[in-house]
Structures are given as C-alpha cells and as structure tokens.
Amino acid sequence: QVQLVESGGGLVQPGGSLRLSCAASIFIWTMGWYRQAPGKQRELVATRTSGGRTNYADSVKGRFTISRDNAKNTVYLQMNSLKPEDTAVYHCLAQYGGLDYWGQGTQVTVSS
C-alpha cells in the first residue's frame, strides 16, 4: 500500500506562485500531478520519473516545473505565473506495481 501526503495549496493572486509537495511512503518510479476543476474531468499536469523523464500538459509548459527528491520519495510542483484557469484540486499520483495511487488532493485557487 502506498501512502501519499500532499501539502502546499492555497489562495494566490494571478501571476503569483505556489509550490506543492507530495511525499510517498515508499520509493516510486513515476510520480506526478493531476488536477480537477469544478465540472471538469481530471487532467494531467505533469509527471516525472526518478530517472528524470518529464511530461507536461501544454497548458502549463514554461510556467510549472516538476522536480523530485528521490532520497525523500517526494515530488514537487513549482507553479509560477498562475492564472485563474489553474484553479483546481491538485492530486498527487504515484504509479506502483501496475496501479495508480492518489493523494487526497490540495486546493489551488487563483483569484484577485
């Protein structure tokens, strides 16, 4: 069983920054972030393998950066130049043993 603990959401003004963290209870090869806005389906934000391969949604390229601390089994999402359309619940993803494990979600609200 994989346990994920997320932190770092909150309220920020447009153009601002936030950093999300997700710590896993064990080593995970692929970790990442998805988000779900009200009335919309969950969508990919970014993923990163422990080897450094990354994948970003087009909507966040150049603004968001995903990074890993493999020693801490932790993935980070640095979000810059935030826009109101980035408002969503952000969920951490860990892929392990052929299964997807999800964090409880952290709210990110971008509003003036």
Question: What per-residue confidence (pLDDT) applies to 1?
Answer: 85
- Per the CB < 8 A criterion, the answer to whether 94 and 24 are in contact is yes
Instruction: Give pLDDT tens digits for 19-37.
Output: 999 999 999 999 999 999 9
- Token couple for 46: 């970014």
pLDDT score of 54 more than 90: yes
Looking at residues 61-79, what average pLDDT do you find? 96
- Beta strands, E only, 8-63: 10-12, 18-24, 30-36, 43-49, 54-56
Compute the C-alpha angle 107/82/46, nearest 5°: 70
Residues of the chain with pLDDT > 70, as a percent, come to 100
